[in-house]
Structure 1
Amino acid sequence: MTQIKIVADKNALVTSASDFIINKIKETIANKNICSIALAGGSTPKPIYQNIAQSDLPWDKIHVFWGDERYVPPTHPDSNEKMAREAWLNQVDIPAQNIYPMPTLGNNPMADASKYEQELKDFFGVANGFPSFDIILLGMGDDGHTASLFPHTNALKECDRLITVGNKEDNQRLTFTVPLINHAQWVIFLVSGKNKQEALKAVFDQESDSDQYPSKKIQPQGELIWFIDEDANSIRN
């Protein structure tokens, strides 16, 4: 099932998405006594993470992962882990063992992708097949990419692995694969800005090529929620 939530501006998107995510975390913990969430990078999620940090949540029951990561040290300004720790995780009393950053210090991205894949399998107790995250947060680039799944790259073809190496020009990254994302219970896209209009329109166009606009490949077995501000909105034009 897909829901599309159009909001007035980026501030409204931050408020609406924050409330939605916090409520989903609470609901999941009420039902399962645990919640697994995979984070997105980029500028849009940062104020959302700051809002989550201000909420009253049972932090010991929340387990935090990342949907993709640049292959840089966690102290690097471009690190998704660094941003999330500063905006959220360092501000709350979440146990260190509940945080599962992608490994990016091994000088071998594919080996580190395999290492993180095993970490996910161990956490979820899944030897074969794909685990099901409770919540996965995603952004979308102006080229239609999501996580580190870029147009016409080999990462889009990976259907057996949980984690693979994504490439943007000469920069390697670790990323969830399409089938791993699509096994989630809740996938939440956060899309803001006029520069996203063309890609967003293509993602919702039945005739467009999903290899050109990878966000179109995200069709989870659970719920798909799009938070879109009016600047980005092009799907009803």
Structure 2
Amino acid sequence: MNRKVEILPDQAALIARAKELILSKINAAIEQRGRFTIALSGGSTPKPLYEAIATENLPWDKIHVFWGDERYVPSDHPDSNEGMARRTWLDRVDIPAANIHPMPTTEGDPAVSAAKYEQELQEFFHCSPGEFPALDVMLQGMGDDGHTASLFPHTEALKVSDRLVTVGNKDGNPRITFTYPFINAARCVIFVVAGANKKPALAQVFALQADSFTYPSRLIQPQGELWWLLDAAAGDELK
């Protein structure tokens, strides 16, 4: 398995290491292919990471930002992943508007929005239906139930293997999410996980045998690199 696990002493060290790793991937991708593509995650953990990246002097015109999942709310809603990333990072740097690719959430039908985003991805990466393009970095978090992106335990989204984007479901509320095969197509997947509340799920995700439909983060086994960056509160028992 190509999994690399690092346990950092605290959340500040976790964010610093995640930033260092992402910056290295930005530099390598631009040097090799002339651009860098990343899919962002939501939640509270990546906020300081986005704030840290915003302080860097980067070739923003060569960086393209996507989202791995989104709540089905407008971008100015407090729960919007897009809104959070814009406030903490994207609105603070000179990235071209055309390089920001948010998930659509105003069509009134999540399935229509998912199809629209899939089409945008296919056009951007020049790929045909059924092909899974490789983003340079997929940034992932993990919930205390073992979900990642909006791939929640025992939901229909976990069964979708022939699409890039599908509709997720959290307690009856729709979300838009990348499918796990699309996440697995990435050149690099980076999980950034903090907090003691994640320990039980992490034990199952790292177990030799467990149910992936109960702990969906187990489904993330990319063809490229897989990094698990954990703070000590989350990962100390994995040592």
Q: Please state which band the TM-score falls in when normalised by the shorter chain.
A: over 0.9
Contact 1:136–1:184 at 8 Å: present in 2 too?
A: yes
Specify the SS of the correspondent of 2:233.
coil
Distance 1:76 1:225 in 2: 31
Aligned match of 2:210: 208
Distance 2:237 2:66 in 1: 31
Aligned match of 2:123: 122
Counterpart amino acid of residue 159 in structure 1: S
Structure 2, unpaired ranges of 5+:
none
Distance 1:220 1:110 in 2: 25
Superposed structure 1 runs of 4+ greater than 2 Å apart: 234-237
Specify the SS of the correspondent of 1:226.
strand
Contact 1:149–1:166 at 8 Å: present in 2 too?
A: yes
Distance 1:106 1:124 in 2: 23
Matched, 1:167 2:169: yes
Aligned match of 1:47: 48
Distance 2:205 2:146 in 1: 7
Distance 1:231 1:78 in 2: 26
Question: Once the two structures are superposed, what CA deviation does each residue of 1:38-91 show, in whole Å capped at 9, x if it has no partner?
Answer: 000011111101111111110000000000000000000000000000111000
Counterpart amino acid of residue 147 in structure 2: H
Aligned match of 1:219: 221
Contact 1:198–1:234 at 8 Å: present in 2 too?
A: no
Shift of 1:235: 4.9
Distance 2:119 2:208 in 1: 36
Contact 2:40–2:65 at 8 Å: present in 1 too?
A: yes
Counterpart amino acid of residue 71 in structure 1: Y
Distance 2:50 2:238 in 1: 29
Distance 1:155 1:235 in 2: 30
TM-score by length of 2: 0.98
Distance 2:31 2:150 in 1: 32
Shift of 1:207: 1.4
Contact 1:39–1:65 at 8 Å: present in 2 too?
A: yes
Distance 1:236 1:170 in 2: 33
Aligned match of 1:187: 189
Contact 2:7–2:236 at 8 Å: present in 1 too?
A: no
Distance 1:32 1:5 in 2: 28
Specify the SS of the correspondent of 1:216.
helix
Shift of 1:27: 1.2
Distance 2:213 2:155 in 1: 8
Contact 1:204–1:235 at 8 Å: present in 2 too?
A: no
TM-score by length of 1: 0.98
Matched, 1:176 2:173: no
Matched, 1:84 2:64: no
Shift of 1:236: 2.4
Counterpart amino acid of residue 102 in structure 2: P
Counterpart amino acid of residue 203 in structure 2: K
Counterpart amino acid of residue 120 in structure 1: L
Contact 2:69–2:149 at 8 Å: present in 1 too?
A: yes
Shift of 1:234: 5.0
Distance 2:208 2:171 in 1: 28
Distance 1:97 1:52 in 2: 19
Identity of aligned residues (%): 57
Distance 1:201 1:234 in 2: 11
Aligned match of 1:18: 19
Distance 2:238 2:223 in 1: 25
CA gap 1:221/1:52 in 2 versus in 1, 3 angstroms: same
Question: Once the two structures are superposed, what CA deviation does each residue of 1:122-162 show, in whole Å capped at 9, x if it has no partner?
Answer: 00000131111110000000000000000010000000010
